Chains A and B, each alone.
Chain A
């Protein structure tokens, strides 16, 4: 009995060791479908880590980064963090363990994502932030960012021109942990708050999400049926807000302002249904990040820590110049 027990313990230990080895091996290589194993014949690999792919604008950012990296001779893999910092951390662990050469990164949180970037830096993997920044200047190799504040200053000025110096409006905020949310809001308010006749009757977060914006604005309209305008921190929320206004029969009376330059919003601006948006240039940012990563891998080390990318106002007057997430002639 004693002998049999000793034997089975030994066997159990062997099984456990085998299982642990298998799990570790899986974690490092083939079990993660997003982390293909590499050999010396494979092209070098770049990781594209995106805050969420549940928004067409970020899909464009991700795909433009991947495509430019592919053009430059890399094998690029897109990782979707689903707006979840824990998922983002797990992606970083996989990427670091799997031997990627650089990370093109759209963070979930300006503060929370810093530690991931630092881990990559310690592992010798350069990180290039796209669109969203992290609140550190010594972690990422470079950050290519939309100039959200200045874009929303322009948008705020146009808002006052369109709505007038008095009226009631609603602001839909994005993710509260993201600097872009506040850069946009502050840029907008730096203008609009100078006109005391413009009253903000509600300010609520809809997490940059179209469906949430629809719900949030529907609820706000119950208490404030007489609003004149909605300022949305991104175009997905502007689309949600517009849907809510259509459902409430108010789409002709309430002016909607978005931010991003998404195709569906640009189309609605051309039709006179949405007042304006701020055109960010996701493809420019993504390509610049991919080209910077390539330059780093080729030996370049001198990068500006932050490169703001201009945001342009899109209105009925100039909408013909824009499309496909940028300027028609430029992209």
Chain B
């Protein structure tokens, strides 16, 4: 009778030991972690690309800094007039296998027309519209691609790269258009820097449709 009792005790001991072992393992290597919902949300938000913050830095440190390297609007138009393909090659930026090209352009001239959603500018010494700034809702990648500063290959998810265009356009609408709309009047002198996107320079390049990052009224 004693032997079975001893066996039962030792089995209990083994089970207890195993139980303690499992508990220790669970403590050391927990199969899951409980994290407060707020903490999880903020961790997830931290991994989401912040286009607004990126553009804030890009605008200040790269776009405005390179304004003096923008091609002169008159020079660009003359180059297109002479040899569109060469001009696109020399001054433009192409995104991948794209027929369209984009440019970073500067210049100054007199406003010759102000309409609901557009301002037309004649360059210094001219009297016809060489540059048009459309002041309605902005679309496209004229500034992002025209600047030549951003490379799609640096963005693992191209949605992030595309978000930059939306953010840049939003910023132009919020910060640049109000200045333009407030002071634009026929005959007024304006200086500008911005992006231009041209679908096919062989067919249609003038007037340049400019998305401005800088407009100044000296």
Residues of A within 8 A of B (CB): 110, 133, 135-137, 144-145, 147, 149-150, 153, 156-157, 179, 182-183, 186-187, 190-191, 194, 281, 284, 288, 304-310, 312
* A312 CA to B100 CA, complexed, in Å: 10
Contact with A along B134-176 (1 / 0, CB 8 A): 0001011100000000001111111100110110000000000
Residues of B within 8 A of A (CB): 95-100, 137, 139-141, 152-159, 162-163, 165-166
Q: Is the CB of A147 within 8 A of B157?
A: no
Q: Evaluate whether A110 and B157 lie within 8 angstroms (CB atoms) in the complex, with A157-B139, A183-B162, A194-B137 already known.
A: yes
* A190 CA to B159 CA, complexed, in Å: 12
- Cβ of B152: which chain A residues have Cβ within 8 Å of it? 306, 308
* A306 CA to B154 CA, complexed, in Å: 9
- Cβ of B139: which chain A residues have Cβ within 8 Å of it? 153, 156-157, 190-191
Q: Is the CB of A135 within 8 A of B157?
A: yes
Q: Is the CB of A307 within 8 A of B159?
A: no
- Cβ of B100: which chain A residues have Cβ within 8 Å of it? 310
* A147 CA to B152 CA, complexed, in Å: 11
- Cβ of A136: which chain B residues have Cβ within 8 Å of it? 156
- Cβ of A305: which chain B residues have Cβ within 8 Å of it? 153
Q: Evaluate whether A190 and B166 lie within 8 angstroms (CB atoms) in the complex, with A135-B157, A137-B153, A137-B154 already known.
A: yes
* A307 CA to B153 CA, complexed, in Å: 8
* A309 CA to B98 CA, complexed, in Å: 6
What are some 12 contacts across the A-B interface (CB < 8 A)? A137-B154, A144-B96, A145-B96, A186-B159, A288-B97, A307-B97, A308-B95, A308-B152, A308-B158, A309-B96, A309-B97, A310-B100
* A182 CA to B166 CA, complexed, in Å: 14
Q: Is the CB of A149 within 8 A of B156?
A: no
Of the candidates B98, B140, B153, B156, which one forms a contact with A310 in the assembled complex, judged by CB atoms under 8 Å apart? Answer: B98
Q: Is the CB of B166 within 8 A of A284?
A: no
Closest CB-CB distance, B160 to chain A, in whole Å?
Answer: 10
* A182 CA to B163 CA, complexed, in Å: 11
- Cβ of A190: which chain B residues have Cβ within 8 Å of it? 139, 165-166
- Cβ of B99: which chain A residues have Cβ within 8 Å of it? 310, 312
Of the candidates B137, B140, B153, B166, which one forms a contact with A306 in the assembled complex, judged by CB atoms under 8 Å apart? Answer: B153
Closest CB-CB distance, B165 to chain A, in whole Å?
Answer: 8
Q: Is the CB of A186 within 8 A of B162?
A: yes
Total contacts A-B at CB 8 Å: 75
- Cβ of A157: which chain B residues have Cβ within 8 Å of it? 139
Q: Please name the residue on chain B nearest to A303 by beta carbon.
A: B153
Q: Nearest 9 CB-CB pairs, A to B? A: A308-B96, A305-B153, A149-B162, A310-B98, A307-B96, A194-B137, A306-B153, A309-B97, A306-B152
* A147 CA to B137 CA, complexed, in Å: 21
Taking A156-B139, A183-B162 as known contacts, 17 extra A-B pairs with beta carbons closer than 8 A to each other, sorted by chain A number, are: A136-B156, A145-B158, A147-B96, A149-B158, A153-B140, A179-B157, A182-B159, A186-B162, A186-B163, A191-B137, A194-B137, A281-B97, A306-B96, A308-B97, A308-B98, A310-B96, A312-B99
* A284 CA to B155 CA, complexed, in Å: 23
Closest CB-CB distance, A77 to chain B, in whole Å?
Answer: 26
* A312 CA to B166 CA, complexed, in Å: 20
Most chain B CB within 10 A, of A110, A190, A194, is at A190
Most chain B CB within 10 A, of A149, A179, A183, is at A149
Of the candidates B156, B159, B165, which one forms a contact with A137 in the assembled complex, judged by CB atoms under 8 Å apart? Answer: B156
* A308 CA to B161 CA, complexed, in Å: 12
- Cβ of B137: which chain A residues have Cβ within 8 Å of it? 191, 194
Of the candidates A156, A182, A304, which one forms a contact with B153 in the assembled complex, judged by CB atoms under 8 Å apart? Answer: A304
Q: Is the CB of B95 within 8 A of A147?
A: yes
* A110 CA to B165 CA, complexed, in Å: 22
Closest CB-CB distance, A139 to chain B, in whole Å?
Answer: 10
- Cβ of A156: which chain B residues have Cβ within 8 Å of it? 139
* A186 CA to B157 CA, complexed, in Å: 13
Closest CB-CB distance, B217 to chain A, in whole Å?
Answer: 27
* A150 CA to B159 CA, complexed, in Å: 11
Closest CB-CB distance, A31 to chain B, in whole Å?
Answer: 37
Q: Please name the residue on chain A nearest to B100 by beta carbon.
A: A310
* A137 CA to B97 CA, complexed, in Å: 19
